Amino acid sequence: MATRQLHVAMLASPGVAHLLPILLLGHRLATHHNLRVTVLAVTATATTPQSVSQLITSFASHLSVIQIPAADISCVVPPDAKVVMQLCVMMRETIPAIRTTISAMDSRPHVLVGDIFANEYTAWFTALFTYSPVLDKQVVGQYVDNKEPLEIPGCRPVRPDEVVDPMLNRADENYDVYLSQAIGVTLADGMLINTWEDLEPQTLNALRSNEILQSVVKYKPVYTVGPVNKRYEPDGLKGEVVEWLDKQPDRSVIYVSFGSGGTISAEQINELAWGLELSRQRFFWVVRPPTGHVSDGSFFKAGQSDATCDYLPEGFLTRTQKVGFVVLSLKIVGLKLSSLIISMYASRVFAIP
């Protein structure tokens, strides 16, 4: 008697950066494990962007993609609401359409996998994220004002200045959304994390077996599925990145990038630049323009004219050209470079959380 093929539905929130890792993981499940995969891609615009259409087409031979228009949230959240809140509300309001789509399938899925609005989540972030409701009860005042590290059982302590953006202001409504998400994640039957065993063994062990953490958060099984990143062919700037990295010793380069939502102030960028320069450490830095700064998204690297970027210390690019590689980047380029670094040069690069 033939074995029934397992059908997996994978839900992706709006945006190429969220859709891509779902497609990559779905492709792996379909080609390596012979699963039937259907990706439910929630789209926030009436017309599908060309980049999304091309991305979907490239995976069409191995899995199915159903696009679901996102619900109109213009009457629910203000237009200046932060991205995390917009995505949370958008996905919540789109639940009826998602349910209708699944009900209309000729073969109901056996498994539903959903993202958490990002493609670079690690075990470290998962631990902090899911333990946040406990920290919310334990910590008095703003996290960033505390002098002592935030303790997460079995994990490396988190310095107050390391907390993620939604935790910066506990009075902001985005913080409440963040806590609600953290509670919801632990209700799932399991967690897939885009990391691998040798990268974060301590945190993964805590997520799986620390008695205190398990008793409080009640984690379900945790599976590592990373690195889930698309390899990009070395051309143009990416070719320069590859060439520069090829000349560096193993595990000698600090990789600095704050992801698609990691815009920091000009003052913070300035301080980070001085820290990198004074450390005399090799570094690769993907810099996004600071908050409120207008940029055309062009590239620059260490050694070019310092006039290229007015929010770095004067002379920084010239002084660091022998030890650093700096790239000015908009969101999607930063994500592509992140994928390139992680998938091709993990042995030469080490990250600072």
Tell the residue number behind the tokens 């990268």, with chain if given.
199
Rounded CA-CA distance 67/40 in Å is: 6
C-alpha neighbours within 13 Å on the C-beta side of residue 113: 21
Least Cα distance to 158 among 139, 172, 186, 181 occurs for: 139
Q: Which of 7, 27, 115, 306 is catalytic?
A: 115
Q: Which of 7, 18, 110, 176 is catalytic?
A: 18
Which residues sit opposite 283 in a β-bridge? 254, 324
Which residues sit opposite 72 in a β-bridge? none
Rounded CA-CA distance 254/231 in Å is: 20
| Torsion angle of the four alpha carbons 159, 179, 94, 99, in this order, in degrees rounded to the nearest 10 | 110
| Torsion angle of the four alpha carbons 9, 181, 128, 145, in this order, in degrees rounded to the nearest 10 | 160
Which residues sit opposite 38 in a β-bridge? 9, 64
Supply φ then ψ for residue 352, to 5 degrees: -100, 115
Q: Is 115 marked active-site?
A: yes
Q: Is 306 marked active-site?
A: no
Rounded CA-CA distance 292/263 in Å is: 10
Tell the residue number behind the tokens 């995976």, with chain if given.
59
Is the previous residue joined to 78 through a cis bond, with omega within 30 degrees of 0? no
Is the previous residue joined to 290 through a cis bond, with omega within 30 degrees of 0? no
**Residues with catalytic function:** 18, 115
